[in-house]
């Protein structure tokens, strides 16, 4: 979007004497007090010169930078708030927290919910993977995990907080007073920002080549190519906490500033020699000139470092490539700590996919460096280093390390299985292997492009692997797909959306079985009332069914849905009811009752699973039906019998204790503050006010569904099935109340039937079955011995009847209703002992005959192949289809000769066969 110069002209600039200039390299406009300044003061337009600037910043670690930032803005009237997790649980459209403004999207930024404070300040840990391939190359300019210091002001039409001028004044004061930057060294570069559906002009604050902050003035909502002015104007700043530490320390690279002693520890553990401090300063300073997305600039950077150090180019390049990989591993291991501590379970979908991508990129870097150190050992260094800054990292250390070890083992198995597939694909496609093929190999088989490239080179084939491959993949998976199913034709949805919200009687009293309401909308088979006790399908709970009756008629309600705030009843009969008609609704109470029990059971089981398996457990899906319910949870390994039993035991303890189930409506901010983001296990409801369902002292969730008022009403919960439905997701199926009783009755009946069949009492079934199994195994052993003897006899019998031909010997046999593997074993062993023979065996099963042909190596050398022999059999002996290769062929079909004469007929045809 073209931005007017007026957007950037500020009273502050005029007062201070700032002048506006244009950078001759990048073309950006910027504001400075230095009249001699030529460039925009940002990399890669200039080298990092902040090392050499005369400023007296205090020595700040990341912790110190964070505290300094928050303290400054708190002193200037901003309320500090707690950061949110790096997993964006409050967003349906985004997996990871990529900026501090994400904390307030979409409900605060669209005006639905007020901010928790105004103005406020937060230091938000963030994860961005779209530049993951650049990490390590730019000396710390690119990181996958970082802290964004944000001070935010939300300006409403009727309430002004502050805007551009004050924001720039704060930045100027912070950098000059807190960090000691000379005013002439501070540059405000004009730019434009877009993200999360919002946009606005911004300033990038740079000092000595290092961008330290971005000051965004969010004032547009983006819809396609349209920029719509927002009624609310939002100050959205991002101060780089790690970059402030780098700047304050004047460290050689950002990695030295952030990780300090860990840098040497990682180099030593990985087994790579760390360059000297002076060499690192050269590496860091010149890395500023690189644009890693342009390969030519990387080579140029290597040459400049080579010249600066006075070393041979190839040697310097080798050193730098290794340094870049160590830096990347440093970054990725911290990112994994943050991701896993916030409950991500690596998988092939969603945020789990992104975590696995980071794991495998780190493992690949270790492999490239020839390191033998387990990834978990390096991750443990990070846990110890960061556990005070991020308490969840320390609290969940065992889970983090276990998952890392599991993922490393899985990756090894993936590569072992995947290499043969890669070789086949390369044979088939060769140089035509495209980017989409590489992405498919990674997404579906977990094989990184570097492995594909190595296999291709073995075959003398060169393929193109983009430098930013992982960035491309991460970008594709960064956002969740949010699609709204349209349950009704668009024109009807438009009409319904104009109606007043339906009064939801099922929330006021979930035990209501009958109610009275008035018709406000009707089309054939559709009915909207001003109030209803029929539950509308949502949150994984199926809708109510029942009847609606009125003075002159009645209709069956077969499905109920919600369109916005309006409840629509779908009728079995294609009737229309006049507007204003008073009707009576009759709920199918038996169905509603069991749905309520199943829904409350879902909340109880989720609470039990979290206590048994760990805090990382998150609901990945759920369904509450009349016959059973299911809950999908994230977990990194299959459940043991003991874990399942413990979950069931805890769940039933809650049922038997008779805990109250409390439903209430709360302000969203108040609810999040009191209960945390675990509220959104079942999804993120819209609106300022949300409905909360609390199983007393056990589980609290935002939930639309109907529930029992006390857990004792459930009676019993029985887990009936547990499956691992995909990598990282476990499905629990269960029944409650009368359905649990029915399930046990069915088991009892089944057990009784088994007892009758084995002539035992139910009490003695276990002993009788054990005895039968023992007898069965003994019979199985005897049968196996008999079978071996039978096979030996058959082999000897058939071999003795072989007939001589011009090309060797022919062995033909026939059987009825034998197992295919038995027939194959006989034929294979004859052919193995007689490589000068053709072995043909028939097996009649029902009215079809199967033919198996094996040709020995000596016969093949004379020009006889199994396929050729089969062509003689088909059409003369058997009418059917088949195929094979030189040594083996098979077919099945209808016999064309009497089965008793099939051997002699085959000998007659094949004996005279010549190649």
| Whether pTM exceeds 0.85 | no
787 sits in the region (left: phi over 0; alpha: psi -120 to 50; else beta) called: alpha
Q: Is the CB of residue 445 less than 8 Å from the CB of residue 425?
A: no
Integer-rounded Cα radius of gyration of the chain: 36
| Model confidence pLDDT, tens digit, residues 627-663 | 999 999 999 999 999 999 999 999 999 999 999 999 9
258: pLDDT strictly greater than 70:
yes
What is the predicted pLDDT for the residue at 222?
87
439: pLDDT strictly greater than 90:
no
| Model confidence pLDDT, tens digit, residues 217-253 | 999 988 888 899 999 999 999 999 999 999 999 999 9
Q: Is the CB of residue 798 less than 8 Å from the CB of residue 825?
A: no
What is the predicted pLDDT for the residue at 485?
60
What is the predicted pLDDT for the residue at 773?
93
Q: Which residues contact 71 (CB under 8 A, 6 or more apart)?
A: none
CB atoms within 10 A of CB 335: 29
pLDDT winner (highest mean) among 73-82, 420-429, 803-812, 847-856: 73-82
What is the predicted pLDDT for the residue at 458?
65
Buried b (16+ CB within 10 A) or exposed e, 30-67: bbbbbeebebbbbbbbbbbbbbebebebeebebebbbe
What is the predicted pLDDT for the residue at 649?
97
| Model confidence pLDDT, tens digit, residues 458-505 | 666 666 776 677 777 776 766 665 555 667 898 999 999 999 999 999
604: pLDDT strictly greater than 80:
yes
Buried b (16+ CB within 10 A) or exposed e, 599-617: bbbbbbbbbbbbebbbebb
445: pLDDT strictly greater than 80:
no
Pairing of strands 729-736, 803-804: unpaired
What is the predicted pLDDT for the residue at 689?
93
**Mean pLDDT calculated for residue range 332-339:** 97
Q: Which residues contact 812 (CB under 8 A, 6 or more apart)?
A: 798, 801, 839, 840, 841, 842, 903, 906, 907, 910
pLDDT tier at 329, thresholds 50, 70, 90: very high
Residue 174 DSSP label: I
Name the maximum alpha-carbon separation found in the chain.
112
pLDDT tier at 451, thresholds 50, 70, 90: confident
Q: What whole-number distance in Å separates Cα of residue 803 and Cα of residue 178?
A: 101
Which residue(s) pair with 848 in the sheet? Answer: 845
pLDDT tier at 408, thresholds 50, 70, 90: very high
Q: What whole-number distance in Å separates Cα of residue 22 and Cα of residue 20?
A: 7
What is the predicted pLDDT for the residue at 37?
94
Residue 6 DSSP label: G
What is the predicted pLDDT for the residue at 423?
75
The tokens 């609901």 sit on which residue?
Answer: 619
| Model confidence pLDDT, tens digit, residues 23-64 | 999 999 999 999 999 999 998 899 899 988 888 888 999 999
Q: What angle do CA 672, 674, 675 make, to 5 degrees?
A: 65
Better-predicted residue by pLDDT, 56 or 814? 814
pLDDT tier at 527, thresholds 50, 70, 90: very high
Better-predicted residue by pLDDT, 380 or 847? 380
Q: What whole-number distance in Å separates Cα of residue 643 and Cα of residue 639?
A: 6
Better-predicted residue by pLDDT, 44 or 450? 44
Q: Is the CB of residue 668 less than 8 Å from the CB of residue 691?
A: no
What is the predicted pLDDT for the residue at 198?
85
pLDDT winner (highest mean) among 258-272, 288-302, 450-464, 879-893: 258-272
What is the predicted pLDDT for the residue at 289?
84
722: pLDDT strictly greater than 90:
yes
pLDDT winner (highest mean) among 284-293, 380-389, 615-624, 886-895: 380-389
| Model confidence pLDDT, tens digit, residues 115-172 | 999 999 999 999 999 889 899 999 999 999 999 999 999 999 999 999 999 999 999 9
Range from 417-421, 828-832, 852-856 carrying the lowest mean pLDDT: 417-421
Residue 795 DSSP label: H
């Amino acid at each position: 979007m073209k931005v007017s110069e007026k957007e950037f002209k500020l009273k502050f600039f005029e007062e201070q004497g700032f002048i506006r200039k244009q950078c001759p390299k990048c073309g950006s406009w910027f504001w400075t007090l230095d009249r001699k300044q030529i460039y925009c003061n940002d990399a890669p337009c200039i080298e990092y010169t902040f090392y050499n600037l005369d400023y007296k910043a205090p020595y700040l670690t990341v912790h110190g930078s964070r505290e300094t930032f928050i303290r400054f803005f708190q002193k200037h009237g901003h309320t500090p708030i707690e950061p949110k997790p790096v997993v964006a649980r409050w967003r349906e459209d985004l997996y990871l927290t990529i900026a501090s403004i994400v904390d307030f999207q979409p409900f605060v930024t669209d005006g639905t919910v007020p901010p928790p404070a105004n103005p406020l300040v937060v230091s938000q840990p963030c994860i961005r993977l779209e530049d993951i391939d650049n990490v390590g190359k730019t000396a710390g300019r690119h990181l996958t995990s970082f802290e964004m210091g944000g001070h935010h002001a939300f300006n409403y039409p009727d309430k002004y907080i502050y805007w551009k001028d004050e924001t720039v004044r704060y930045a100027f004061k912070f950098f000059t007073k807190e960090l000691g930057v000379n005013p002439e060294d501070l540059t405000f570069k004009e730019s434009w920002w877009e993200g999360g559906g919002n946009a606005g002009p911004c300033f990038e604050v740079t000092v000595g080549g290092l961008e330290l902050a971005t000051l965004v003035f969010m004032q547009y909502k983006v819809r396609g190519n349209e920029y719509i002015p927002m009624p609310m104007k939002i100050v959205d700043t991002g101060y780089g906490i790690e970059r402030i530490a780098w700047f304050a320390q004047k460290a050689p690279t950002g990695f030295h500033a952030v990780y300090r002693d860990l840098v040497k520890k990682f180099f030593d553990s990985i087994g790579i020699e760390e360059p000297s401090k002076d060499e690192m300063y050269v590496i860091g300073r010149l890395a500023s000139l690189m644009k890693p997305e342009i390969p030519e600039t990387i080579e140029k950077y290597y040459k400049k470092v080579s010249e600066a150090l006075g070393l041979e180019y190839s040697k310097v390049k080798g050193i730098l490539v290794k340094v870049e990989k160590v830096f990347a591993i440093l970054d990725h291991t911290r990112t994994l700590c943050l991701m896993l501590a916030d409950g991500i379970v690596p998988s092939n979908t969603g945020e789990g996919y992104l975590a696995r991508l980071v794991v495998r990129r780190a493992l690949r870097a270790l492999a490239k460096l020839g390191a033998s150190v387990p990834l978990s050992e390096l991750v443990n260094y990070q846990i110890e280093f960061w556990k005070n800054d991020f308490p969840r990292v320390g609290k969940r250390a065992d889970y983090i390390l276990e998952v890392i070890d599991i993922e490393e083992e899985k990756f090894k198995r993936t590569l072992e299985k995947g290499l043969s597939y890669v070789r086949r694909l390369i044979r088939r496609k060769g140089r035509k292997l495209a980017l989409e093929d590489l992405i498919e190999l990674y997404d579906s088989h977990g094989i990184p492009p570097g492995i594909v490239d190595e296999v291709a080179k073995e075959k003398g084939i060169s393929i193109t692997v983009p430098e930013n491959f992982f960035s491309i993949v991460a970008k594709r998976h960064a956002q969740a797909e949010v699609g709204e199913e349209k349950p009704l034709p668009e024109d009807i949805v438009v009409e319904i959306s104009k109606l007043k919200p339906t009064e939801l009687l099922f929330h006021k009293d979930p035990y209501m079985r009958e109610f009275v309401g008035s018709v406000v909308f009707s089309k054939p088979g559709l009915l909207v009332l001003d109030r209803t006790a029929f539950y509308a399908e949502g949150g994984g709970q199926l809708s109510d069914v029942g009847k609606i009756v009125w003075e002159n008629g009645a209709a069956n309600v077969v499905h109920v849905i919600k369109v916005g705030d309006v409840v629509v009843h779908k009728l079995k009969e294609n009737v229309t009811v006049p507007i204003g008609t008073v009707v009576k609704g009759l709920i199918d109470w038996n169905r509603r009752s069991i749905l309520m029990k199943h829904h409350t059971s879902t909340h109880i089981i989720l609470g039990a699973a979290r206590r048994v398996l760990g805090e990382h457990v998150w609901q990945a899906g759920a369904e509450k039906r009349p016959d059973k319910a299911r809950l999908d949870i994230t977990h990194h390994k299959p459940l043991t019998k003991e874990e399942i039993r413990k979950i069931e035991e805890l769940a039933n303890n809650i049922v038997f204790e008779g805990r109250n189930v409390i439903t209430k409506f709360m302000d969203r901010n108040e609810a999040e503050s009191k209960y945390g983001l675990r509220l959104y296990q079942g999804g993120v409801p819209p609106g300022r006010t949300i409905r909360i369902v609390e199983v007393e002292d056990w589980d609290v969730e935002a939930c639309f569904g109907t529930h029992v008022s006390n857990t004792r009403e459930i009676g019993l919960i029985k887990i009936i099935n547990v499956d691992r439905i995909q990598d990282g997701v476990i499905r629990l199926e269960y029944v409650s109340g009368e359905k649990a009783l029915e399930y046990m009755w069915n088991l009892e009946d089944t057990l009784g039937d088994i007892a009758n069949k084995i002539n035992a009492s139910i009490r003695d079934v276990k002993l009788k079955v054990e005895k039968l199994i023992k007898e069965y195994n003994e019979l199985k052993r005897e049968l196996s011995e008999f079978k071996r003897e039978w096979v030996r006899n058959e082999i000897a019998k058939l071999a003795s009847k072989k007939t001589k031909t011009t090309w060797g010997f022919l062995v033909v046999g026939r059987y009825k209703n034998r197992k295919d593997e038995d027939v194959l074993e006989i034929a294979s062993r004859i052919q193995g002992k007689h490589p000068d023979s053709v072995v043909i065996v028939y097996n009649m099963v029902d009215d079809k005959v199967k033919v198996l042909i094996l040709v020995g190596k000596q016969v093949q050398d004379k020009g006889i192949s199994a396929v050729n022999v089969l062509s003689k059999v088909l059409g003369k002996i058997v009418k059917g289809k088949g195929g094979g290769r030189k040594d083996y062929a098979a077919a099945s079909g209808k016999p064309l000769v009497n089965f008793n004469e099939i051997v002699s007929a085959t000998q007659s045809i094949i004996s005279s066969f010549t190649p």
